[in-house]
Amino acid sequence: MKALHFGAGNIGKGLIGYLLNKSGFDLCFVDVNEEAVNHMNSSNYYSLELLDEDHTVESISPVRALHSSSKEQVVDAIVEADLITTSVGAGNLTKIAPVISEGLLKRIQLDKGNVDVIANENMINASSKLKEEIHRVVSTSEMDAIRSHAGFPNSAIDRLSLSEERSEGEVTLVEPYYEWMIEKSGMLNSDLPSISNATYVEELKPYIERKLYIVNLGHAATAYTAFLEGYGTIQNALTNPEIEKFLRETLKESAGYFTHTYHFDPEEMREFISKTIKRFKNANISDDILRVGRSPIRKLGFNERLVKPTRVLYELGLPVEKLTTAVATAFLFDNPHDEEAVTIQSYIREHGIEQAITHFTEIEDTSLKRKIKDNYIKLKENYSIQS
């Protein structure tokens, strides 16, 4: 079995390539980094280190790579692939769509059978987005043919993956936890064996939202609380029992969104929250709170991690005291090196916190906005923050 993966970055090597290799695929990367391509082709492996107590190192082999400029070779690799995957960054799907479309059309011409294309990007429904980008560069009849022979199942991924330059070359660093969820309904290649340790689901949306409204929400809430307390990393902040307690109680409130909206089992949610907090506390990882808390305007969006579970649960009459506090902490993230944080603080000084809550969260309910405002004022007093 042959897998072709676009993007030899941290997620490509640390999660997708790792699991494809474990599943027995002959793995080929496509990347723009000539040095990375040459290294893979000369060594036929890359190193992966687990951020656990033992710092276990694995050699992922055999692997090879193609430079993205080698268009004919990439097209031929698409023709021969049993599975095509990507992790190039959401903004780069437009760039790879033309060569993927050319390869898929050549597959059809040569009657190579059905194939699935899975885009694993930090966005909702990335594979659907890639399919849209392909549609932009082919004719209607060509797109109809592609739809008949190529599946575009959406996926959700979760793994902290970093890289570090060492004397022996670049090493990929990954946390022990990972998740790769694939939506079965979008798959066309029924002959393809299951990918080891990937989870196949009927509907992806609940799991995408679980990551956003539990993992990402918890990460952001911890970062903003840690900022107020003067901690530098998530891991150091969670040595404080009060911050861990606040995180756990915030996520417990957010879990109500999943038990009511998707009927998740409450015990399953408790276990997921415990697993999430354990990930955050991993002492072998150093999560800078300024990095985790960056771009607070985006995180305060109407359907984003801090706001959607808060407003939905409030409408259901369920507890949101900790969630509204978490929202308030984001308005106190006064980082002069973060453009969005600077914008928020400037808006508050000019218009006041009440208008700022309305402007950035788009929440309309007056009583919910009042709860956020009250928590904001309380936090300012507790931390002696001057206006």
Structure tokens at 141: 């009849």
C-alpha to C-alpha distance for 272 and 102, rounded to whole angstroms: 42
Phi first, then psi: give them for residue 322, nearest 5 degrees. Answer: -75, -35
Q: Which amino acid is at 50?
A: L
pLDDT for the residue numbered 239? 98
Q: Which residues of the chain have pLDDT under 50?
A: none
pLDDT for the residue numbered 387? 66
Q: Are 161 and 128 in contact (CB under 8 A)?
A: no
pLDDT for the residue numbered 124? 83
Structure tokens at 83: 């599975």
C-alpha to C-alpha distance for 102 and 205, rounded to whole angstroms: 30
C-alpha to C-alpha distance for 18 and 12, rounded to whole angstroms: 8
Pairing of strands 26-31, 46-50: unpaired
Helix (H) or strand (E) segment spanning residue 355: helix 353-361
Residue 67 in 3-state DSSP?
Answer: strand
CB atoms inside a 10 Å sphere around CB 78? 25
pTM of the model as a whole = 0.87
Give the CA distances from residue 239 to residues 16, 234, 236, 272, 289, in Å, rounded to whole numbers and listed in that order: 32, 9, 5, 20, 14
171 bridge partner residues: 47, 164
Q: Identify the structural domains of the chain with CATH numbers, from first to last.
A: 2-201 (3.40.50.720), 205-382 (1.10.1040.10)
pLDDT for the residue numbered 332? 98
Pairing of strands 57-60, 179-183: unpaired
The number of residues making up the chain comes to 387
Phi first, then psi: give them for residue 178, nearest 5 degrees. Answer: -155, 160
Start-end of H helices in 178-216: 205-210
Structure tokens at 71: 């268009």
C-alpha to C-alpha distance for 346 and 326, rounded to whole angstroms: 20
Q: Are 291 and 226 in contact (CB under 8 A)?
A: no
Characterise 226 by phi-psi region: left (phi > 0), alpha (psi -120 to 50), beta (else): alpha
Residue 42 in 3-state DSSP?
Answer: helix
Give the CA distances from residue 104 to residues 94, 138, 142, in Å, rounded to whole numbers and listed in that order: 16, 11, 10
Q: Are 264 and 272 in contact (CB under 8 A)?
A: no
Residue 274 in 3-state DSSP?
Answer: helix
61 bridge partner residues: none
